[in-house]
Structure 1
Amino acid sequence: MAVMDVRNDANGWLVLWLEPLGEDRWMKPGETFRIRTDYTGDELAFSVTGWVNGEERSGGIENLTVWVEGGGFEAEVTDEDGNPVECGHNRPPHNPRT
């Protein structure tokens, strides 16, 4: 099993993108999500890319993409208590990107 924690240590929103599925989860400051796959191979299970959109950054939004690399595309995302965190978590209703 491959596991990675992502924590939002910023003062604003962190949008966690899970690729290649194109899923988004919006993290409040201080939130931690755990990403888990069943992959047990020798290659890297995940890769991470941070990126900037100037308009979003001025609105207090940062972006982080986690690519599920090994063992297929399926991954489970949970909060610190192990509760599932589904695509669209905390997404603002006015978000023009989704």
Structure 2
Amino acid sequence: MPIENSGDSELCLFIEPYCEDYWMKPGEALTVRSEAEGVDVWFDTYISKGCVIVWLYEDGDPYKIVGDYVVVDASGTRLDSGHQRPRGQRWSAGGPIID
């Protein structure tokens, strides 16, 4: 699932239920994909101010969460959680606080 930040400020890609965050600068694109073989992955996507929240489910079943996934940049480089996280980023139980 490709995600592109076409806005003019940073955008957080937040993967649930693992609370992993990946930050995109304007114009950047990231891709979320499953690494599991033979699994039909469905993506549930929620949008809030400055944040795209993604859940990965096997066969669309919300009780079968896909845990074997990867986030890559436009060149295919695998990224770690916290990629480009803004210094001093604040958090709540629901994810990053975007002012």
- The alignment's TM-score, normalised by the length of structure 1, stands at 0.77
- The alignment's TM-score, normalised by the length of structure 2, stands at 0.76
For the pair 1:45 / 2:42, whether they are aligned, the reply is yes
CA contact (8 A) 1:19 1:65 kept: yes
Percent sequence identity over matched residues?
31
Q: Which residue, out of 6, 9, 30, partners 2:6?
A: 9
Does 1 or 2 have the higher relative contact order (CA < 8 Å, sep 6+)? 1
Structure 1 runs of 4+ aligned residues shifted over 3 Å read: 39-42
More strand by share: 2
Deviation at 1:74, TM superposition (A): 2.2
1:12-41, Cα deviation, whole Å (9 max, x unpaired) = 011000111110011100111011102644
More helix by share: 1
CA change 1:27–1:40 in 2 (3 A) is same
Unmatched 5+ residue regions in structure 1?
53-61
CA RMSD of aligned residues (A): 1.7
Distance 1:7 1:47 in 2: 16
Distance 1:8 1:79 in 2: 12
